């Protein structure tokens, strides 16, 4: 799914840094807009983000759905147990908290959907961060999906040997053995894959101690400045909204 929608999204026309900021505003905005009155504003922002990023809701749901459902359940329990208010207020608290978290989760899942990891690396480099950070982010985006696929193959091959990784109280010793060795194999695979990626990287001449070429294609255009100033204004307004309440 990573980088999948980059060519049909209007976000491609923006500099990667603007994309980072645009998605980044979801965090302060959702932190400041705590009152139920602002629920339409948060929903509007969420819809606006999804529309401008032109990613289908089902793709976002596939990417972030599981986290959201898990979080909704936790927040529901927290609101019902810890909030000492009438039931309607508890429900409203649950709704506003869930919406605020949803916008943060959706924003963080939107960026990798519309931006290649190598672009994020170049953007971080342009911001002034050391290239090792950008390269690590870039490799992680490629490495983890491959690792997940390998882990799933290992798990399935074990399943066909009757090896269950679920806790069985009647076979505690066997279960511990199975889980321990499963993680050992996954760890060995991780090391092996990491070594191969590392060899490819250094084999191409990457060195922590040498500068790398920065892309001149990353240049802030007028529309990027509009986005950046709008983002700052929105954060400021949401901050002001607290004193307004």
Partner 1 sequence: MNSGGILFRDFWFTYADSTAPVIKGLALSIPLNKCTILVGPTGAGKSTVLKIIRGFHKLYEGKIKGTIRMHGINHAQLSFDDITSLGVVFLHQDPHANVHLLNVRNEIQSGLVYNNVSWQQSIEIVDQIEEYLNISHLDKRCTEQLSEGELQKVGLAASLATSYGVQNSPILLLDSPMSFLDGRSQDDLLEILKKLKKQKMTVLIACSDLDQYEEIADKAVLIEEGRNVREGTAKTLMGSEEYRQTVGTPLTSDIRFLDSIWIKRKPPKNFEETNLRGDYAFIFQNVHFAYDNELFFNNISGQIGRFGTISAIFGHNGSGKTTLLKLMLGVLKPLRGKTYLLGKSPERYSPSEIGLKVAFITQNPTEMFVSNTVEEECLIAPKNLNLDNPEKLVSQALKFTHLDHLVNRSVDSLSSGERRLLSLACTALVTNCNLAVLEEPDFALNPSRWKEVLEILVRFKELGKTVILTTHSMETAIICDEILVLSNGNIIFKGTPSEFLIEKNVIEHMGIRQKERLLKIRKITKTDYNKSPDKEARQ
Q: Does 47 bind partner 1 (CB under 8 A)?
A: no
Closest to partner 1 by CB, 39 or 163: 163
Q: Total number of residues binding partner 1 (CB under 8 A)? A: 54
Q: Which of 141, 224, 231, 234 binds partner 1 (CB under 8 A)?
A: 141
- Interface with partner 1 by CB under 8 A: which range of 8-16, 89-97, 135-143, 229-237? 135-143
Closest to partner 1 by CB, 84 or 217: 217
3-state secondary structure the chain: CCCCCHHHCHHHHCCHHHHHHHHHCHHHHHHHCCCHHHHHHHHHHHHHHHHHHCCCHHHHHHHHHHHHHHHHHHHHHHHHHHCCCCHHHHHHHHHHHHHHHHHHHHHHHHHHHHCCHHHHHHHHHHHCCCHHHHHHHHHHHHHHHHHHHHHHHHHHHHHCCCCCCCCCHHHHHHHHHHHHHHHHHHHHHHHHHHHHHHHHHHHCCCCCCCCCCCCCCCCCCHHHHHHHHHHHHHHHHHHHHHHHC
Closest to partner 1 by CB, 4 or 54: 4
Q: Name residues contacting partner 1, limited to 179-238 (CB under 8 A).
A: 181-182, 184-185, 189, 193, 196-197, 199-207, 210-217
Tell me the closest approach of the beta carbon of residue 206 to partner 1, in angstroms.
4
Q: Does 161 bind partner 1 (CB under 8 A)?
A: yes
Q: Which of 46, 65, 76, 118 binds partner 1 (CB under 8 A)?
A: 118
Q: Which residues of this protein are in contact with partner 1, per CB under 8 A?
A: 1-4, 7, 58, 116-118, 138-139, 141-142, 146, 150, 152-154, 156-164, 174, 178, 181-182, 184-185, 189, 193, 196-197, 199-207, 210-217
């Amino acid at each position: 799914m990573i980088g999948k929608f980059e060519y049909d999204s209007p976000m491609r026309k923006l500099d990667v840094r603007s994309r980072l900021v645009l998605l980044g505003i979801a965090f302060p905005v959702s932190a400041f807009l705590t009152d139920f009155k602002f629920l339409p504003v948060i929903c509007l922002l969420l819809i606006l983000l999804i529309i401008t990023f032109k990613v289908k809701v089902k793709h976002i749901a596939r990417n972030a759905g599981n986290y959201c459902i898990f979080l909704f359940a936790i927040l529901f329990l927290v609101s019902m147990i810890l909030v000492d208010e009438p039931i309607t207020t508890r429900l409203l608290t649950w709704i506003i908290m869930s919406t605020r978290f949803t916008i943060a989760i959706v924003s963080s899942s939107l960026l990798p959907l519309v931006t290649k990891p190598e672009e994020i690396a170049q953007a971080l480099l342009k911001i002034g961060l050391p290239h090792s950070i950008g390269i690590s982010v870039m490799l992680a985006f490629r490495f983890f999906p491959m690792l997940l696929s390998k882990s799933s193959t290992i798990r399935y091959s074990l399943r066909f040997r009757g090896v269950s990784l679920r806790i069985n109280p009647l076979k505690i010793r066997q279960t511990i053995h199975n889980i321990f060795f499963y993680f050992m194999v996954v760890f060995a695979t991780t090391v092996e894959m990491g070594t191969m990626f590392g060899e490819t990287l250094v084999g191409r001449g990457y060195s922590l101690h040498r500068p790398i070429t920065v892309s001149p294609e990353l240049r802030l255009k007028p529309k990027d400045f509009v986005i950046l100033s709008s983002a700052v204004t929105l954060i400021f307004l949401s901050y002001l909204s607290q004193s307004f309440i």
